[in-house]
Structure 1
Amino acid sequence: MKISSSDLEKIKENNSIYDVVSSYLSLKNKGRNFSANCPFHQERTPSFFVYPDSNSFYCFGCNTGGDVITFIRLIENLDYVEAVAFLAKRAGISIEENKDFYNFEPKKNIIYEINRKSAVFFHSNLFKEKNKPALDYLISRKLEINTVKHFGIGCAFGHSRFELINYLKSQNYKESDILAADLAYKTRNNNIIDKFFNRIIFPIIDLNGNVIGFGGRSVNENNGAKYINTSDTIVFKKSKNLYSLNFAKKSRDKQVILTEGYMDVISLYQAGFTNAVASLGTALTSEHANLIIKYFENIYISYDSDEAGKKATRRAIEIFKKYDISTKIVSIQKFKDPDDLVNKSGSKSNFLFKKFIENSQNDVWYIISEIRNKFNIENYEEKIKFLNEVSKVISKIDNTIDRDIYTLKICAETGINKQAFENQIKKLIKKRNKLSNINKLDKTKEIFKQKPNYNNKSKYFRIYYIEKILLSCIIKYGACLWDVFSSLKVSDFASDFAKSVFGRILELKENNEKIDIINVSKNFDFKQNNELARVFGIFSDSTFSKDEVVNYVKILKMEGRYIELQKCSSDISDIRKYINILKSDKNKFIDI
C-alpha cells in the first residue's frame, strides 16, 4: 500500500499540529511553542511541547514525539493508515483514488454497523412478551421506561444462544466480522455462540454517536460474572472510553460525577443528574482522566462506599493529581453506591444527592479523613503515627497558602506545635526535591568538557550532540546556509539515525524539494520520527550565527577523524597521515 507524497503533504499542511493537539489538550503558550501535561504518561509538571514551526511535538518526560500523524496514532490508538485517513477526513481531503488506502475503513464501518444493528436488536427484544422477565427486572430496579429508552438498554434473553448470530447472518454479515465485534465467541467444538446471552445489555456509545461496544449484566447468579464487557476491538478500547460521556459532555456547568458502574450513571440520570459517567469494567486510567479534563472543570468522585471503592477513589485522586487537577469526593455514607441511594430514596434522591455534593470534601481532606479513621488520636503513640502520615500528604501540596491552611487545622485539632509540624513537612519536601533533582544534570556541559577520546566503551556523546545540533540547523537554515552544509557527507555523521536524516536531506536537495521536517520525516518509521521530533524540539528555540554553524561543521569533521584514527591500522604511515590532517584542521579551527 502506497500513499502518494502529494496527498500526504496536503494532509499534513491542512492539519496543523497546534489545531490537532489543542482539540485534545489544554495548551499553554511558551514563547513560540506550547506546553501541556503529556497525554501519554502521568505527570504534574508539563513536559509535553508542541512546535508549530516544525509541525511536531515532543515529550521530555516519556521521550515520545513525532509529527501530527504520530500524535493521532498514539492518542487515538490507530495504525499509520488509519491515522492518515483520520486526518484526511478531519481536513475534508478526499484520497479515494487510492483504493488500497481505504482497505481498513470498510472493516471499521462493518463493525460499527454490526454494533448498531445489534443494539437495535437487543433493545427491541426487551419489549417482546417472551422477554418480560428482563423488563420486569429493570422495573424492579426502579427504572422508568423513558430512562430505558434514553440509554437504549436491551436484553439478550431467549431460548437460544444463536438468536443474535442468526439475525446478523440474515443481514448478510460474516461470522468473522461478528467475532471481530466481540459479540460472539467460538466454543471448543468450533460453534459460534452469543457472548451476551441471558443478560441485560447496555450499549456503549462514543462521542460521534457510534455504538462501539456493550456491557452485559447477568440477572442470574449462575450465569457467570455479574458484568461482562466488550473486549478491546478495532473500534473500542476500554481504557479510552467512558460510559455516557456522549450525554454528560453536554453539561452546561462543566461538572462531572465519576461513578463505578452503568446503573450508577443511569439511576443518577433518572434522579436529574445528567452529567455522570463511569469507567467500563476497568480502573480509571490516564486516558480516562484526559477525556474528563478535556470536557469538565469540576470533578466529583462518587465511587462505592466499600473498601474497594475507597481504594479506587484514592487511585483516581492520584491520577488527577498528576495532571495538577483537584477533585471533590462525594461520600454517600450509609448507601452502597449512587444507584442504591436513588433506589432507596425515591423522590428525595435529587435533594439528598445534591446535599452530598454540597458537603463533598476536596481530595486532600478526604485523604486526611481516611487517615484519621485509622488512628485514635487521643492515644499518644497513634497521634504520632497520624501526624507522620498526614505530614506526607501536606508536603505534596505545592501551593504554600493551601499548605499553611491544612497545617493550621491539623495543629489545632491535635495540639501539636505549628513550628515542629512545619519543620517535619519542610524536611519531607527537601528530601523529595533532592531525589527529583538527581537526574537533572546539564548534559550539555558534560559533553563539551569531554576530550575526543574513544578508547572506552561509552557512546560518542560529544559527536552525537553536535550532529543533532547540525541536523536541526540544516532543517531550519538549509535554504540560506547550504554553502556551509554542502561540504558535509553522510559518512561525516557517527550515528545511524543522523546518517539516515542527512541522507534524506541530500535526496530532497537533489530533487529540488523543500527541506523541512515534514519532507524529511516521510517514509521514516515510528522510532525515527520520534527521535527527529526530539532533536528538533530540543533546539527549536535555539538560534545560531553563521560562524557558530561553521564551527559545528568543523567540530563534526574533526571528531569524525578522531574516530577514523582510532579505527585505522597500526601502520605508522597511516597514523602520521591522520596526525597531519588533524594538525591542519586545528590551525583552521575557531574555538567556540
Structure 2
Amino acid sequence: MPYFSDELIEEVRSRNDIVDVIGGYVRLQKKGSTYFGLCPFHNEKTGSFSVSPNKQMYYCFGCGAGGNVFTFLMQYENYTFGEAMQVLADRAGIELPKQEMTSAQRREADKRTRLLEINKEAARYFYSLLRNPRGANAYNYFKQRELSDETMQKFGLGYSDQYSDDLYRYLRKKGYDDQILKESGLVTIDEVRGGHDKFWNRAMFPIMDVHNKVIGFGGRVMGEGEPKYLNSPETKIFDKSRNLYGLNFARSSRKEQILLCEGYMDVIALHQAGFDNAVASLGTALTSGHANLLKRYTKEVYLTYDSDGAGVKAALRAIPILKEVGITTKVINMRPYKDPDEFIKALGADAYQQRIDQAENSFMFEVRIEEQKHDMQDPEDKTAFYNEIARKLLSFPEELERNNYIEAVAAKYQIGFDNLRRLVNQLGNKAGIVKEQTPLKSGIHENKKKEDGMKQSQKLLLTWLIEHTGLFQIIRPFVTPDDFTEDLYRRVAEVLFAQFEDAGSVNPAKIISMFDNEEEQREVAGLFNAHIHEVETKSDMEKAVRETIIRIKDNSIKYRSDHLDPTDMQGLMKVVEDKRALEQLEKLHISID
C-alpha cells in the first residue's frame, strides 16, 4: 500500500463530505441530523443505512457495514486504499505526492504492466491471423455464426494458429523471456517440449476488463478436439470471479438493466442485435464477486441463460447470489430456442425485446421450476409442493413483501391467500422465523451471534462519548481506556480519550483511518453507532449512561482481579482504589446537555 502521512490522509478525508460522496451512489433522505437510505451492501427495503455528517461516517444497522469515506469507496468500488485516496484527492483538487515504491512493489507493478503488454500483443497477433489465409477456418466459423466484420472488429476476435508453438515463438521475438511468458497463462514451459501455446487452432475471444485492457482469452476449437471451449488460467491480472465478458461495453449502455448470458457468442450476438447491455461470466458459475461487480452498474439483471436443464440450474444458483447484494432479478424465457444467439437468428431482435418485456419474476420462476418436480394430480405430492413453496416464502423477512408473494402464488395456484399464509406462518413459527422482530437495545442487529451485554455497554459508552463530548469531563476521574476490556474497544478508547485531551473535541472518522484491516474498520464504525431505542427522555438517557458506566467499571475491576498476580501489590492497590471510585460512581449525578 502506498505510504501517505496521517496529516495528508486526514486532509483528503476532511475535504470530501461523506454525504456528498455517498449521495452519488445511494439515494439519501435526511431524518433529523442523519441521512438514511437503502444499504448498497445487502438486500433491504427498510432503509437502515445511515450516513452521519457530524461523525463523517456511515453505518448499516441491518448488515453492520460501516466506516468513513475511504472505507465506502473501498467496499463499493473494490478499490485499494491507494486508489480510494487518489479518487478522493482528485475530487477535492488535492495533488498527491508521487509515491516512492519499494523494490518489491516496483517489481510487482512492472510485472503487471508486462503481463498486460503480453496479452495486448497476443490479442493483436490473433486478430491479424484471423484476417490472414491461415485463419480462414475461424473467419468462416464466425461468418457462419452470422457475425459482421464490424462486430468481429468491435470484440477483437481472432485466431490462434494450428502450430502449437506459434504464439510462443512470436512473443519470444518480441523480447519476452520464458518466466514472464509462463506467468501470462498463454504459454506452458516444460523440459521435454520447451515452450508451447495454451491456445492453438482456436477461434479466439479476447477478454477485457472494464478499462478495456486485455486480461485473458477464451478459445473455441476449430474442428475436432477437447475441450470445445478453453479459457486462460487465473493470473495476476485475470480473476474469473471478478470479471465479466462484455462489461467493458455494457457499463456504458443507456439501458437500465443488464442481460446476463452464459457464453461469449450469446453476448456478441446480442450486442450485434442492438442489446449492448449483455455480459457473461467467464466459463464459471456466477459468484458473489460477479454480483458485486454488477451492482456497481445496475439494480436489475435479466437472466438469459440456456433454456435446457443446465441453464435452468445455473439460473437457480444465480438468483440467490444476485438477491443477496440487492439486485432485482428476472428470467427471460427463450423457448423453443436454446439460447439468445439461436433465438435472435430465428425470430430477430424485436421478438427478443418482447421476451425481455415479458420476463418472469425470479421468485415465480423458482416456484414454476419447483412445480415441475411434483405430480400436481397426486394429493400427497401436491401438498409437498405447497409446503416447499411455503418454506421459500419464508425467505422474505418483511411481512408486507412476503404477503405480496403469498398473494401472487395463491392466485396462480388457486390455493387461497388465507390458507397459504396460514401454512407459511405455521412453518415459520416452528422454525422460529415468523415472529415479531425485537431490536437489540444497542440498535445493532447481529447476524451471526448475540453479543454479550458487556460488549454492548462498552459500545454504547464509546458512542455517547462522541455524541456528548461533555461526558468526558464527568467520567474522566472514574473511567480510563483500560476499563474497556475488549482489545479493539480499548485501542479505540485510547485514541478517543487522547483526541479529547489534546484538542477538546473528537474526530471518529479519523480514528477509522488508523486501522488497516477492513473488518476492524467495520467494527470500529459499529462502536460509534450503538443506540438504546427505548430511551426517550433526557432523564432516562442520563440514567442509562450512569448505569452503563457503573457496569463497565464493575466489570473492569472483576476482570483485573481475576487476572491479578497475588504478588502484584501495585495492581492490588489499583483495584482497591477503583472499588472506592465505583462507590462514588454509584452516587454520581450524570447531566447531559
218, 240, 246: which one aligns with 1:215: 218
Q: Deviations over 1:25-45 (max 9, x none)?
A: 566666513343453x67776
Instruction: Report how far residue 335 of structure 1 moved.
Output: 1.9
Asked if residue 467 in structure 1 is aligned to residue 453 in structure 2, the reply is no
SS of 2:54 mapped into structure 1: coil
Asked if residue 515 in structure 1 is aligned to residue 506 in structure 2, the reply is yes
Unaligned runs of 5+ in 1: 446-458
What is the aligned partner in structure 2 of residue 456 from structure 1? none
225, 228, 231: which one aligns with 1:229: 231
Does the CA contact (< 8 Å) of 2:407 and 2:417 recur in 1? no
What is the aligned partner in structure 2 of residue 529 from structure 1? 521
Give the whole-Å Cα distance in 1 for the aligned partners of 2:505 and 2:129: 60
What is the aligned partner in structure 2 of residue 483 from structure 1? 473
Asked if residue 334 in structure 1 is aligned to residue 336 in structure 2, the reply is yes
The Cα RMSD (Å) is 4.1
What is the aligned partner in structure 2 of residue 435 from structure 1? 433
Give the whole-Å Cα distance in 2 for the aligned partners of 1:179 and 1:315: 34
Give the whole-Å Cα distance in 2 for the aligned partners of 1:194 and 1:206: 23
Instruction: Report how far residue 395 of structure 1 moved.
Output: 5.7
Asked if residue 561 in structure 1 is aligned to residue 557 in structure 2, the reply is yes
Asked if residue 99 in structure 1 is aligned to residue 100 in structure 2, the reply is yes
Aligned residues: 566
Give the whole-Å Cα distance in 1 for the aligned partners of 2:532 and 2:237: 36
Does the CA contact (< 8 Å) of 1:217 and 1:227 recur in 2? yes
Asked if residue 500 in structure 1 is aligned to residue 452 in structure 2, the reply is no
What is the aligned partner in structure 2 of residue 360 from structure 1? 359
Q: Deviations over 1:350-377 (max 9, x none)?
A: 2442343344333243233323333343
Give the whole-Å Cα distance in 2 for the aligned partners of 1:419 and 1:521: 50
What is the aligned partner in structure 2 of residue 154 from structure 1? 158
Unaligned runs of 5+ in 2: 444-449
Distance change >3 Å, CA 534–CA 460, structure 1 → 2: closer
SS of 2:302 mapped into structure 1: strand
Larger displacement relative to structure 2 (56-65 or 125-134): 56-65
Give the whole-Å Cα distance in 2 for the aligned partners of 1:209 and 1:99: 27
538, 542, 547: which one aligns with 2:530: 538
Instruction: Report how far residue 307 of structure 1 moved.
Output: 0.9
Does the CA contact (< 8 Å) of 2:185 and 2:198 recur in 1? yes
Asked if residue 278 in structure 1 is aligned to residue 280 in structure 2, the reply is yes
Instruction: Report how far residue 148 of structure 1 moved.
Output: 0.6
Instruction: Report how far residue 309 of structure 1 moved.
Output: 0.5
Give the whole-Å Cα distance in 2 for the aligned partners of 1:460 and 1:281: 42
Give the whole-Å Cα distance in 1 for the aligned partners of 2:488 and 2:436: 29
Distance change >3 Å, CA 5–CA 400, structure 1 → 2: same
Instruction: Report how far residue 271 of structure 1 moved.
Output: 2.8
Q: Deviations over 1:240-296 (max 9, x none)?
A: 322212322343342332211110111122233322221222222334334444434
Q: What's the % identity of the aligned pairs?
A: 31
Does the CA contact (< 8 Å) of 1:258 and 1:301 recur in 2? yes
Amino acid paired to 1:581: R
Instruction: Report how far residue 537 of structure 1 moved.
Output: 2.7
Amino acid paired to 1:519: K
130, 135, 152: which one aligns with 2:139: 135
What is the aligned partner in structure 2 of residue 375 from structure 1? 374
Give the whole-Å Cα distance in 1 for the aligned partners of 2:416 and 2:454: 57
Distance change >3 Å, CA 108–CA 14, structure 1 → 2: farther
What is the aligned partner in structure 2 of residue 2 from structure 1? 3
What is the aligned partner in structure 2 of residue 452 from structure 1? none
TM-score (norm. length: structure 1): 0.80
Give the whole-Å Cα distance in 1 for the aligned partners of 2:132 and 2:492: 65
Amino acid paired to 1:138: F
Give the whole-Å Cα distance in 1 for the aligned partners of 2:428 and 2:317: 22
Instruction: Report how far residue 230 of structure 1 moved.
Output: 3.6
SS of 2:348 mapped into structure 1: helix
SS of 1:537 mapped into structure 2: coil
Distance change >3 Å, CA 384–CA 43, structure 1 → 2: same
Give the whole-Å Cα distance in 2 for the aligned partners of 1:583 and 1:518: 32
What is the aligned partner in structure 1 of residue 250 from structure 2? 248
SS of 2:305 mapped into structure 1: coil
Amino acid paired to 1:498: Y
Distance change >3 Å, CA 181–CA 523, structure 1 → 2: farther
Give the whole-Å Cα distance in 2 for the aligned partners of 1:202 and 1:20: 37
TM-score (norm. length: structure 2): 0.80
115, 120, 125: which one aligns with 2:124: 120
SS of 1:54 mapped into structure 2: coil
Give the whole-Å Cα distance in 1 for the aligned partners of 2:179 and 2:97: 26
What is the aligned partner in structure 1 of residue 205 from structure 2? 202
Distance change >3 Å, CA 367–CA 512, structure 1 → 2: closer
Give the whole-Å Cα distance in 2 for the aligned partners of 1:589 and 1:514: 24
Distance change >3 Å, CA 380–CA 491, structure 1 → 2: closer
Instruction: Report how far residue 430 of structure 1 moved.
Output: 4.4
Distance change >3 Å, CA 538–CA 581, structure 1 → 2: closer
What is the aligned partner in structure 1 of residue 267 from structure 2? 265
Q: Deviations over 1:517-561 (max 9, x none)?
A: 243234423143232111113359999899666775565444433
Instruction: Report how far residue 90 of structure 1 moved.
Output: 5.8
